[in-house]
Each structure stands twice: as structure tokens, then as C-alpha cells.
Amino acid sequence: MDHPPPSDERILSAALRRFAVDGLSASLRRVAEDAEVSAGLIIHHYGSRGALLEACDRRALEVTRREKSSLFAGGSAELFAQLAQTTRYAPVVGYVLRRLQAGGPLAVELVGDFAADAVEYFADGERAGTITPSRDPQARAQVLTEMALGALLLQLPAQRDQLDLEELPAWFEQYSARIIGPILELYSIPLLADRSMLDAYLAATQGDDPAPQTIRPPAGETS
């Protein structure tokens, strides 16, 4: 016979879901009701709201770091989309989105994690000849990660209202379908016709481009 999870784990699971649905300001009383425990038991196990949020942060980091090794292929948004398809992970995805909205240590760690992974994947692409090398691989990966997560949060269907975790997978599908074409165009066809603006910026800030030869022109064009 299966034994119910211990009370601290029930509280943590309930907190992830309740904070995802209602936001990080959700009351501990609601968390206690969801976990079918007393509010005092939350304080007994976690001490305070802040400590409970930190526990949720740690659990979210554990899940994303564990699962992205097998799922991460299309960036942070794609990882969240795939995790949201699994019912047991939807609260974690919702919580991560809420935490990214609010900022804080988890947000900083997640962005840093995804950017570090992106550096490695871009390097693999450069070696395979499918991605153009960058003057500053780390900076490029960081900016692209921040842009992806920022765009995701801008469209999040819960800026002020409740987040429907059951609708989250469908929302991710609609969001991906809307942005994938423009994103591929932006990545495949340079927005600027030449690099004169980059050269002017580099001349003004650094004197000379330290590695202009590492940026290949698009196929069919000459530098």
C-alpha cells in the first residue's frame, strides 16, 4: 500500500501550485488548505513565508536542471513548454514563470544556467557550420536568453489574474506557433543590411573590432 507523502513534501507541492496559480503573494492559509494541514505546520516545517519560497526555488532549480539534460534543445522557452506537457511538472513551470516575473535569486540563477547552456550549444553549432561565430559568445548567449525569457513573460496569460495550469500546455503551443516563423527569419536573415553600425559602435567604444574576421557574412554575400 502506498503511503502518503510526508507533511513537509505535501506543503511544498501545494505551495508550488498555489504560488503558480495565484502568484507569490498567495496566502499561506490557502497553501495550508491545499496541503490539508494547519497553517502552524507550515511554520513548523519552514519557519516563514520567505523560507517556504526559498524551498520552492530550490525544488524548481532541481527540476529544471535535472530535466533540461534530456529535454533542452530549443532554449529555455522550449524546455518550459515540454515540461508543462507533463501534469506533475506544470506547477513547477508555473512557479518558475511567476518567480521570473518577480525577480530574485532563482531568476538570476535560471537565466545564468540557460545562458551557459546556450554558449555550449552555439559552440557545437559553430563547429558544425550551422551557426555563425560571435565576437563575444557569452554576451550573445546571455542577451538571447534574456530576450527569450522576457518575451515569454510579456505574453504570460496571468499578468494580474490567476494562471490556469491546465491551459498552460495549450498556451505554450499557441505561443510557439506564433513566434517560430519570425524568430527563424530574424536568425536566418540579418535585420541590418551590413555591419556599419556595429563597426561604428566598436570604433567609438573599443577603438577597433578585436576579431572582425570571426563574423562570417551570410551565404552569397561578400564582406
Given a cut of 50, whether residue 213 has pLDDT beyond it is: no
pLDDT band per the 50, 70, 90 thresholds, residue 42:
very high
**Which residues have CB under 8 Å from 75's CB, separation 6+?**
114, 118, 144, 145, 148
Backbone φ and ψ of 171, nearest 5°: -65, -45
Band (pLDDT 50/70/90 cuts) for residue 120 is: confident
3-state secondary structure of 187: helix
pTM of the model: 0.76
Options 3.10.580.10, 1.10.357.10, 3.30.479.30, 3.40.50.300; which CATH number does 56-206 get? 1.10.357.10
Most confident of 24-33, 140-149, 170-179: 24-33
- pLDDT confidence band for 221 (50 / 70 / 90): very low
What DSSP string describes 53-77?
Answer: HHHHHHHHHHHHHHHHHHH-SS-HH
Half-sphere exposure of 190 (CA within 13 A, CB side): 16
Cα 96 to Cα 16: distance, rounded to the nearest angstrom: 9
Task: Retrieve residue 90's grid coordinates.
Answer: 506544470
Amino acid of residue 164: D
Higher pLDDT, 201 or 215: 201
User: Pick the residue with more confidence: 217 or 111?
Assistant: 111
Domain extents for the chain?
A: 56-206
Give Cα separations from 149 to 109, 124, 133, 146 (angstroms).
13, 22, 23, 5
Sign of the Cα torsion 13, 146, 126, 206 reads negative
pLDDT (mean) for 62-73 = 69
State the amino acid at position 191 in one-letter form: L
Q: By the 8 A CB rule, do 148 and 77 touch?
A: yes
